[in-house]
A and B are shown apart, each in its own frame.
Chain A
Amino acid sequence: MKYANKLWFVAAGIVIWFAVYLNLERLTSLLFEATGISSVKETYARAIEFFVFEVPKVLMLLVLIVFVMGIIRTYFSPEKTRAALEGKPLFAGNIIASVLGIFTPFCSCSAVPLFLGFVEAGVPLGVTLSFLIAAPMINEIAVVLLFGLFGWKTALIYVSTGLFIAIISGYIIGRLKLERFVEDWVYKLKAGANNAEEEKTDFAFRIESGYAAVKEIVGKVWIYILIGVGVGSFAHGYVPEDFMAGLMGKSAWWSVPVSVLIGIPLYSNAAGIIPVVQVLLEKGASLGTALAFMMSVIGLSLPEAIILKKVLKLPLIFIFFGVVGFGIMLVGYIFNFIY
């Protein structure tokens, strides 16, 4: 396809997207009328309605955001991020690293080479860890789902608290001077220069990357969304409203640390965990506790710890998990206090 055609194609796609998304409620209620389901009084009918409305809504949001993020990510790369962080003072470095963590393409399987690349370039340990906390925790799929299911305020809260934890945890670890707990060979390493010539990237290539991201990510998570929303819509009508209140409600002060502890060994992508969080919230869990649980599942994971074990000694891994876990708990308590 020619470049101009591609642009028109994308523009048309976006117009259609908004036309459908903004009228989704109307379209689905027409469908409910036509099939006669809206006149059924049983609980299962409400569950089906919920499912039929939520699934296209969440999938549409996901496609749009993943597409846009796919394009934005072509402007960032680990190399550029490293260059931006070289020689930055501690606190400013933590802030920049955390923000860049949202946009830089990152997969936890690259955590070790990335860590080495950063340290090699003289980026301080605490700043590097800020990046490694923010990158997986502030996840675009999580943002989309929170936005779609709970509204923009919750999504914003999630992003800002995630940033806060990444900045503060990295800063604290930086101040503790823990370089001795990095495996000795790391600092002796001489990284080679990456002499790959930077491919010239035109906008057509960026659009391609957007498509590729949609194909890869949406292709992988749609099934979790279907299952998650499915579970959510049936819990909707069948599980009693205050089912979780005793366990994860505000009155149970211990629920925040317990949720964080349970969340560490559980490892799920954001798409799988958020519908679960939705059910928990609906059944009486408090927002802070549910949020803490979610962040722990996404941000702290055993597989990541095992990967990092190659470059970090055990005490530093414990401190890393301890500080981040503490930060998440703090957020949980703050939210339980506010709401």
Chain B
Amino acid sequence: MDIKILGVGCPRCKKLEQQVRNIVAENNIDASIDKVTDVQEMVGYGIMATPGLVINGKVKSSGITPKDEQVLNWIKEEMPQ
């Protein structure tokens, strides 16, 4: 699984990255987590507010730090059956 955190380094972006790393570690999920700081790439995903959360190329949220359960649900949705 491929997870991307989109953000230039605001506190909330760091918080989301840490949150996702924790969730992935706690649930033993096999995923690569990348931080995207390039604005052009960010805009390529169509987001206008940071932080953005992209799982397997799909934008799941932007401008908010979602709850743990929500993030886990999104990850499960994208898991290969």
Pairs across A and B, CB under 8 Å, 16 listed: A77-B63, A105-B49, A106-B49, A107-B10, A107-B12, A107-B50, A110-B10, A110-B49, A112-B8, A113-B42, A116-B48, A189-B43, A193-B46, A194-B46, A194-B62, A196-B60
B43: chain A residues within 8 A (beta carbon):
113, 116-117, 120, 189, 191-192
Which A residues lie at the B interface, using CB under 8 A? 77-79, 82, 105-107, 109-110, 112-114, 116-118, 120, 185, 189-196, 310-311
A106: chain B residues within 8 A (beta carbon):
49
* Chain A residue at smallest Cβ distance from B11: A109
Contacts A195-B58, A196-B60 known; A114 to B39 CB distance under 8 Å?
no
Tell me how far the C-beta of B6 lies from the nearest C-beta in chain A, rounded to whole angstroms. 8
Listed residue (A109, A185, A194) with the most chain B CB atoms within 10 angstroms of its CB: A109
Identify which of residues 1-20 in chain B touch chain A, using a CB-to-CB cut-off of 8 Å.
7-10, 12-13
Which B residues lie at the A interface, using CB under 8 A? 7-10, 12-13, 39-40, 42-50, 58-63
Tell me whether A79 and B10 are in contact (CB under 8 A): no
* Chain B residue at smallest Cβ distance from A79: B48
A120: chain B residues within 8 A (beta carbon):
43
Tell me whether A78 and B10 are in contact (CB under 8 A): no
Tell me how far the C-beta of B43 lies from the nearest C-beta in chain A, rounded to whole angstroms. 5
Tell me whether A113 and B47 are in contact (CB under 8 A): yes
Contacts A192-B45, A310-B39 known; A110 to B59 CB distance under 8 Å?
no
Tell me how far the C-beta of A114 lies from the nearest C-beta in chain B, rounded to whole angstroms. 5
Tell me how far the C-beta of A98 lies from the nearest C-beta in chain B, rounded to whole angstroms. 18
Tell me whether A113 and B10 are in contact (CB under 8 A): no
Tell me how far the C-beta of A308 lies from the nearest C-beta in chain B, rounded to whole angstroms. 11
B40: chain A residues within 8 A (beta carbon):
185, 189
Q: A191-B43, A194-B45 are in contact. List 4 more A-B contacts (CB 8 A).
A: A105-B49, A110-B48, A112-B8, A116-B39
Q: What separation, in Å, do the CA atoms of A192 and B47 have in the docked complex?
A: 8
Tell me whether B44 and A192 are in contact (CB under 8 A): yes
The one of B49, B59, B60 in contact with A78, judged by C-beta atoms closer than 8 angstroms, is B49
Q: What separation, in Å, do the CA atoms of A191 and B75 have in the docked complex?
A: 25
* Chain B residue at smallest Cβ distance from A188: B40
Tell me whether B49 and A196 are in contact (CB under 8 A): no
The one of A109, A190, A195 in contact with B50, judged by C-beta atoms closer than 8 angstroms, is A109
